[in-house]
Amino acid sequence: MMRKILVAGNWKMHGSKTMVRSLLEGLLKGSSMNGNADLAVFPSFPYLSLTESILSGSHIQWGGQTLNPNAQGAHSGETSGSMLADMGCRYVLVGHSERRSIYAESDVDVALRFKAALDTGLEPVLCVGETQEEREGGQTEAVVGRQLDAVIGSVGMDAFNHAIIAYEPVWAIGTGLTATPQQAQSVHAFIRDKLSSLDVIISDQLRILYGGSVNGSNAVELFAQSDIDGGLVGGASLTAEDFLAIYSAAA
Ligand code: 13P
């Protein structure tokens, strides 16, 4: 099965109007539609409108970094899936490790958000991954398995027809420590095998991205692994040059 690579830039809480404009213009100028790879950015909410106005009709897609599980109502400060869809988002990140650790999102919260994303026509990018302590304790597969089970138990396997998974080992995020291609491939294969026992076809078509200190130098080898279908990139997505180097590695 040939799965199209996705190179996704999670800008986290970075940016300004000036920065967003110049970064997006740099990406548009330095990349073109490619049959082998998709390109997407995840700006903070205030910049989605600007992002839509610059990227609309182009080959680059965009998404939100989280969403509230409710459709609307008295939730000051929050953003719903339908609002993201209204801003032209195709994707939304769900369960990023920073949401899980800093904002105490539980597996159940993550499952609710995943469902809300699907209900509003967004493609959720479900982030999973273990901490350093969990890895050292031999718990990697148990943790990732538990994070997946919470979502599968809530929405069912069919939902993964319209979703993406991102494996992001917490110890590799923003640390400069990348999982080796073999370490990442081993967890990706575990994820695909696990889902394959529920539905072989969906599992085979599902894109599983790797995230954690991806850069222009390690991307080629990571993307060459049979179960790695792209990258969820933090730091290196904040400059057009670095991000485009990763996109070139995929294309
Ligand atoms: P870094 O690429 O900065 O390690 O961030 C990874 C990440 O968390 C993307 O969502």
Please provide residue 40's backbone torsions phi and psi, each rounded to the nearest 5 degrees. -145, 150
Cβ atoms of residues 230 and 209 within 8 Å = yes
DSSP string, 29-50: HH---BTTEEEEEE--GGGHHH
> Which of 91, 213, 218, 243 for a ligand 1 pocket mutation test, highest count of atoms within 8 Å of Cβ?
213
212 lines ligand 1 (CB under 6 A): yes
DSSP letter for 234, please.
S
Q: Which two tokens stand for residue 207?
A: 């894109």
d(CA 207, CA 230) in angstroms, rounded, equals 8
At residue 192, the 3 state secondary structure works out as: helix
The confidence score (pLDDT) of residue 251 equals 83
The confidence score (pLDDT) of residue 205 equals 97
CA atoms within 13 A on the CB side of 84: 34
d(CA 30, CA 242) in angstroms, rounded, equals 11
- What's the CATH code of the domain at 157? 3.20.20.70
Report the separation in Å between the CA atom of 155 and the middle of ligand 1, taken as the mean of its atom positions: 27
Which segments of the chain have a pLDDT < 50?
none
d(CA 199, CA 204) in angstroms, rounded, equals 9
C-alpha to C-alpha distances, 144 to 5, 115, 132, 150, nearest whole angstrom? 22, 19, 13, 10
> Which of 44, 175, 232 for a ligand 1 pocket mutation test, highest count of atoms within 8 Å of Cβ?
232
Which residues are the active-site residues? Answer: 96, 168
237 lines ligand 1 (CB under 6 A): no
Cβ atoms of residues 126 and 163 within 8 Å = yes
pTM for the structure as a whole: 0.97
The confidence score (pLDDT) of residue 84 equals 98
The confidence score (pLDDT) of residue 60 equals 98
Ligand 1 nearest-atom number relative to CA 175: 4
6 lines ligand 1 (CB under 6 A): no
Amino acid identity, residue 104? A
The confidence score (pLDDT) of residue 146 equals 98
In the block, residue with structure tokens 């993406």: 164
59 CB burial (10 A radius; 0-12, 13-18, 19+) = middle
214 lines ligand 1 (CB under 6 A): yes
The confidence score (pLDDT) of residue 140 equals 98
192: number of Cβ within 10 Å:
18
d(CA 170, CA 3) in angstroms, rounded, equals 25
- The total domain count for the chain is 1
**Residues of the domain holding 165:** 5-250
68 CB burial (10 A radius; 0-12, 13-18, 19+) = middle
Among the listed residues 167, 158, 250, 154, the one whose alpha carbon sits nearest the alpha carbon of residue 203? 158
